[in-house]
Chain A
Amino acid sequence: MITFNSVSKIYGNYHALDDVSFRIEDKEFVSLVGGSGAGKSTVVKLLLKEEKPSHGKIFFKGMDVAELKGGGITNYRRRIGTVFQDFRLILSKNVYENVAFAMEAAGRPEEEIVSDVPQVLEIVGLKDKEKNFIEQLSGGEKQRVALARALVQRPEVILADEPTGNLDPIHTWEIVKLLLRINEFGTAIVLATHDKEIVNFLKRRVITLKDGKVIRDEQNGKYQL
């Protein structure tokens, strides 16, 4: 589904990614690990087309991501769900509206939105808080809203960039369990994290980055730098 083919990203003289290649299949759960500055967030940014690779190619379902323009980028992003450490929610909208926004932006009909949003909020355990504004939620709840927003688009993959970075241990495990559940529904998960405990608990494929290079790529891998 996702292919990185000798991808490098250079900022000035700094190599954020250096000749990185890997392939992620449908329905996979992959942890992308590494210390600060290893290149995890750069991979996410390149996948979201927030940035362009300096060298190499990125393919999503055979489509060259770098070639996408205008409406093509918009449609591509609708196929990918994203969850960030800082939640990136729309503060001026309530929980329901934040989740519904992704569907509205995709031009989905109202009846579908009215039916799907409550279901997804039920899955993430926020059905009773749908009218709350983001500032009225805890960190864990905010991240569950972000997950619901990603999930409601029925994406083929969810990119989670340090989704538990701002959460306490209880909320961290809530999010991890939700990601596993979403993966069971058939959505691929790319989890960028530096949380050793989570990675070792998951026992899934682990791609380890160091100084912008892939130093290890193992099934049932462990967190080791």
Chain B
Amino acid sequence: MSGVSKMSNLLRIIKYGWLGFWRNLWVSVATVGIMVLALSVVSGLLVIGNIADTFVKELQGKVDVSVYFSEQADESKILQLQSSLEARPDVRDVEYISRDDALALFKERHKDSELLMASLTELNTNPFQGSLNIKAQKASQFDAIVSFIEGSGSAEIIDKINFKENEKVIQKLQSITSSIENIGLFFTIALSLVAVLITFNTIRLVIYTYRDEISVMKLVGASDWFIRGPFVFTGFLYGALSALITYLAFFFVIWLISEKAGAVFPGTDIFAYWSGNFVGLLGLLLVFGVGLGVFSSFVAIGRYLKV
């Protein structure tokens, strides 16, 4: 077949795919509707995943481990330990609070309490210790960070590390985080599979209604590709339209509920997530929808081509 003929066949395939979509508008509307539902499951999982991720990070950000140094500790050694901690990939942030900073902070916090201020004056010395407040990327990494500090050769300047006091909270958080991740993964896989099966069966049903026409096309000498092409293109249209509708519907719904969701899960902003990742999210839905539409049509028609 010549290049011109191939091009004209391609145009015919697109034309008949397009006509197939419009001439069976109710079938198309029903199929797109079901695909929108399937893609909504995927979109819902993305939004819930974002909420869970932000929420977990927010929780983890609130947990830290403090290392307290003895009064005689050389500040240069503390700063050296701070630098070596900051160089670790599992450490998110290290804040040094010197003895003077700690005193100033205490005074600022309790300036209205005459009793405390009087007691401090009576002591006539700074009773506070210098400390490093360490935040990890993940709660599960604190164990390794504490081991690093204990083995770093700074043992003589360290008075105490409050890891043991925080360990239960950290472990609980770790278990919640890991449960959220596992449940999320399970639901993502299970519901995505359901979405794939629903879409595949819907398109298979649509193509089933055309089985007689497909056998006629075979008998008048149409090649498999010439028959399959328009159905695959219609599958492409189903997928693309479904992805677009799903993205816009979620845009609207998220715009409505974003503020309330932010109040329930502090730190989350799902509207910023959905609108800010326009290209990535719409692209993902298009890849999923179009891929599913094209694949389902391609596979479903196969059995009717054996005439």
A interface residues, Cβ below 8 angstroms from B = 48, 50, 71, 74-78, 82, 88-92, 101-102, 104-107, 109-110, 149, 153
Given contacts A77-B219, A92-B24, 16 further A-B contacts (CB under 8 A): A50-B219, A71-B223, A74-B221, A74-B223, A78-B221, A82-B220, A88-B215, A90-B216, A92-B19, A101-B217, A105-B217, A105-B222, A107-B1, A107-B5, A109-B5, A149-B220
Beyond A75-B221, A107-B1, whether A88 also contacts B216 by CB under 8 A is yes
- A/B interface sample: 27 pairs, CB < 8 A: A50-B219, A50-B307, A74-B222, A74-B223, A77-B218, A78-B221, A82-B219, A82-B220, A88-B216, A88-B219, A90-B217, A91-B213, A92-B20, A92-B23, A92-B24, A101-B220, A102-B220, A102-B221, A104-B9, A105-B220, A105-B223, A107-B8, A107-B9, A109-B8, A149-B220, A153-B220, A153-B221
A89 to chain B minimum Cβ distance, whole angstroms, is 7
- B210 close to A (CB within 8 Å): yes
Flag whether B208 is at the interface (Cβ < 8 A): no
Map CB proximity to A onto B75-116 as digits: 1 under 8 Å, 0 otherwise: 000000000000000000000000000000000000000000
Interface residues of B (CB under 8 A from A): 1, 4-5, 8-9, 12, 19-20, 23-24, 210, 212-213, 215-223, 226, 307
Contacts of A101 in B (CB 8 A): 217, 220, 222
- Say yes or no: A77-B23 contact (C-beta < 8 A), given A88-B216, A92-B210: no
Measured between beta carbons, the chain A residues less than 8 angstroms from B217 are 90, 101, 105
Residue of B nearest to A86 (CB): B212
Name the CB-closest residue of B to A70.
B224
**How far does the Cβ of A147 sit from chain B's closest Cβ, in whole Å?**
13
Q: What residues of chain B lie closer than 8 Å to A91, measured between beta carbons? A: 213
Expressed in whole angstroms, the Cα–Cα distance for A74 and B1 within the complex equals: 14
Complex Cα gap A149–B215 (Å):
15
Query: Whose C-beta in chain A lies nearest to the C-beta of B227?
Result: A105
Bound state CA distance, A105 and B1, in angstroms? Answer: 12
Residue from the list B12, B23, B216, B307 in contact with A104, Cβ < 8 A: B12
Residues of A within 8 A of B222 (CB): 74, 101, 105
Given the complex of chains A and B, what is the CA–CA distance between A134 and B183 in angstroms? Answer: 54
Cβ–Cβ contact A48 & B213, under 8 A? no
- Cβ–Cβ < 8 Å partners of A88 in chain B: 212, 215-216, 219
Residue of A nearest to B12 (CB): A104
Q: Is the CB of A48 within 8 A of B226?
A: no
Q: Are B8 and A110 in contact (CB under 8 A)?
A: yes
When distances are taken between beta carbons in the complex, the residues of chain B under 8 Å from A76 are 221
Which residue of chain A is the closest to B5 with respect to CB atoms?
A: A107
Complex-state Cα separation, A86 to B192, whole angstroms: 43
Closest to A76 in B: B221
Neighbouring B residues of A102 by C-beta, 8 Å: 220-221
Interface centre among B23, B212, B219, B226 (most CB of A within 10 A): B219
A71 to B210, CA, bound (A): 22
Contacts of A89 in B (CB 8 A): 216
Q: How far is the CB of B77 from chain A (nearest CB, A)?
A: 80
Q: How far is the CB of B136 from chain A (nearest CB, A)?
A: 62
| A82→B215 CA distance, assembly (Å) | 13
Interchain residue pairs A-B with the least CB separation, the first 7 = A78-B221, A105-B222, A77-B221, A88-B216, A102-B220, A107-B5, A90-B213
Q: Are A48 and B219 in contact (CB under 8 A)?
A: yes
Q: For the complex formed, measure the closest distance between the CB of B95 and the CB atoms of chain A, giving whole angstroms.
A: 70
B5 cross-chain contacts in A, Cβ below 8 A: 107, 109
Nearest-CB residue, chain A, relative to B8 = A110
CB distance from A124 to the nearest CB of B (A): 16
The smallest C-beta distance from A88 to any residue of chain B, in angstroms, reads: 5
Q: Which residues of A contact B219 (CB under 8 A)?
A: 48, 50, 77, 82, 88
* Chain B residues within an 8 Å CB radius of A153: 220-221
- Chain B contacts of A90 at CB under 8 A? 213, 216-217
